[in-house]
Chains A and B, each alone.
Chain A
């Protein structure tokens, strides 16, 4: 027996419990075989959930497959159905959803996804009366970015500094050090020996690379201290970390791309959204609803609802924080890589973001799949056959890293 939303009824399902109408009268008895007609009646009657079962084990498998496909398909309504990237992503997602369903995952209802009540939330700025600059200015007045990053930056800028100097700065921050060591010891980094000191980490990973990782970890902490009311931070960082892992793995296939830069860029790719959620909670949810109901990518929804996008925000924010240009460039352009100076980097994060969102569908974390310019994907020249192994590798790493870093 499974609890499902009425919208996911597929022909052949059998009612495992009788269904009552709002006024208490019986609409259908237990054992009713459901088809399109019954589905319509239940929908019109405003029934949310029903309990269903199947005639046989075989029938249940095929029903779950259909449900998985239909659920996944909604996320792909606006992409080219003949493009090999999207077809592959769709196939991977259907498998993941099917697997989750077999393990008892309850698909979230469409209504539930949308019904975040934000009516009491107030935006800081009205439309056309506060742009990205105002929002970032307001944000910067609230808190400053963790000091350790800037101290580290200074050390790196000094040509005579050594691994020991770097280690000294990082080690002064115990929490940071713990996270950093957990991160570099994760199988994601594939180091053969266990790293037990920052100094050792510097020599194995590299100075530049290590400072990038410090940047990423510091950012998580900065935002953790000031969580927006509406956003579940665990959900947010799960997606961000997911994107970071994908970005790093994909980057390792390209010779001229630095994996750690891509990891950090992936981790930070959506910080603009956090700032938006903090300052414009009402509009932010309007944006989600708009994207979902119109079946358009988030960027388009933001353009419409807000008049600007989350990358406009992150660009200004990262500028004022003096983040490395490469990371800012990648993050700011991860939805339009052709405009990035480092196009490959931005394209990798875009692909990683799509993968992270796709994987997120199978645990109800994803609202819309962002989509990707087909030419950008072609230029990246990444073999689609590699996507599924990458997803499997990612799934093995995600939860451990998430608890290590957040």
Chain B
């Protein structure tokens, strides 16, 4: 592996310098508006991620960018752009199959049976932090798989929200690439997706179950827009909040969830240090949470 060509002195710096003071201003602004907490060790990452945006806007310093975020006529739009840059949208259909199997085989049938006995035949699921829609659509597919034609007799609503308008746009469009479907079984792919020029399009019968909204989980007024849920999915979202905001978001879930409802968190998320509002229940395939009443 001989090094043949010399290209010395490449620089790693592609952005203006973000001072500690600017970093503090920026992160407290983000925290106030979104609840997302960015620790100091992320300084260079933020510098890199936002640096590109500064270039696009032809803004020379982060101080000027902060002013732009706070005071410019475009501040609303820019705030949404900022959200897109700092949130992570990695997801796919049928992510964490063991947990979804638990949902499909145990939790969902139990809940459907209960509601039917209560004579309501209605079910509300909230996919909190849905990114580009893979999770709520996965849940929709599972509902179709479990209920089959009898789904017609049910009033099913899946509410899905995210902080990023770009993600919601993609979610509403419902078109995905191969990578998003990497953990989706072949038969499901055939049944619920059609191949189009742009990619795999989700079936309209799944799409119509899902209602997408732009919502900030840390904002109590926003959260009130979601009707009381039977089941809440919030996977790999609360990690971006600090403990105070986590606590707040979990209390929103507590208020929203019906007394016999279930909360699903990400595979590696635990909340027992944060709040006693929920009690974990160990089931085959993972942990689900129920309200501590």
**Interface residues, chain A, with chain B CB atoms under 8 Å away:** 21-23, 25, 27, 44-46, 48, 65, 69, 73, 76-82, 86-87, 90-91, 94-96, 98-100, 102, 111, 114-115, 117, 119-120, 122, 126-129, 282-283, 286, 289, 293-296, 300, 304-307, 362, 388, 392, 395
Contacts and interface: CB of A to CB of B under 8 A. Distances in A.
Contact of A127 (B2, B177, B267): B267
B130 to A, nearest CB: 17
Interface stretch (B5-13, B60-68, B110-118, B139-147): B5-13
A96 B270 contact: no
A169 to B, nearest CB: 38
Nearest to B4: A99
A230 to B, nearest CB: 16
A98 to B, nearest CB: 7
B45 A78 contact: yes
Contact of B268 (A46, A283, A300): A283
A117 B183 contact: yes
Given A23-B197, A86-B12, A46 B88 contact: no
A76 B12 contact: yes
Nearest to B12: A81
A81 B197 contact: no
B56 interface: no
Contact of A395 (B1, B14, B42): B1
Nearest to B15: A81
A324 to B, nearest CB: 32
Interface string B214-227: 00000000000000
Interface stretch (B29-37, B90-98, B119-127): B90-98
A99 B5 contact: yes
A91 B10 contact: yes
Given A115-B179, A119-B96, A22 B200 contact: yes
A23 B94 CA distance: 24
Given A22-B196, A46-B179, A77-B45, A95 B3 contact: yes
Given A23-B195, A111-B179, A119-B97, A65 B3 contact: no
B188 interface: no
B5 A128 contact: no
B197 A25 contact: yes
Nearest to A91: B10
Contact of A122 (B42, B98, B182): B98
Contacts of B286: 126
A98 B179 contact: no
Interface in B242-273: 267-270, 272
B178 interface: yes
Given A22-B195, A46-B178, A91 B9 contact: yes
Interface residues of B, number: 49
5 contacts: A81-B11, A81-B47, A82-B12, A90-B12, A119-B97
B23 interface: no
A293 B95 CA distance: 15
A115 B182 contact: yes
Contacts of B6: 95
Contacts of B272: 128
A27 B197 CA distance: 9
Given A77-B45, A81-B11, A94-B7, 10 more contacts: A22-B196, A22-B200, A48-B178, A91-B10, A102-B4, A111-B179, A127-B270, A282-B98, A300-B41, A304-B239
A99 B268 contact: no
Given A22-B197, A78-B42, A119-B98, A95 B7 contact: yes
A128 B182 CA distance: 29
A95 B4 CA distance: 8
Interface in B83-113: 88, 90, 94, 96-98
Interface string B22-63: 000000000000000000011011011100000000000000
Contacts of A296: 42, 45
Contacts of A295: 45
Nearest to B88: A293
B21 interface: no
Given A77-B48, A392-B3, A44 B239 contact: no
B186 interface: no
What 6 A-B pairs are tightest by C-beta distance, nearest first? A46-B177, A81-B12, A81-B13, A119-B97, A305-B268, A293-B90
Contacts of A90: 10, 12
A80 B4 contact: no
A282 B47 CA distance: 32
B19 to A, nearest CB: 13
A219 B200 CA distance: 48
B1 A96 contact: yes
A283 B42 CA distance: 23
A5 B239 CA distance: 31
Contacts of B98: 119, 122, 282
Contact of B267 (A286, A294, A388): A286
B8 to A, nearest CB: 6
A80 B44 contact: yes
Contacts of A306: 268
Given A23-B197, A45-B197, A81 B14 contact: yes
A246 to B, nearest CB: 15
Interface in B182-226: 182-183, 195-200
Nearest to B180: A46
B120 to A, nearest CB: 33
Given A73-B12, A76-B12, A126-B287, A91 B42 contact: no
Contacts of B13: 81-82
B10 A99 contact: no
Contacts of A126: 282, 286-287
B246 to A, nearest CB: 13
Contacts of B5: 95, 98-99
Contacts of A73: 12, 14
Contacts of B159: none
A356 B193 CA distance: 43
B1 A45 contact: no
B137 interface: no
Nearest to A359: B1
- Quick one: which of B1, B90, B197 has the most chain A CB within 10 A? B1
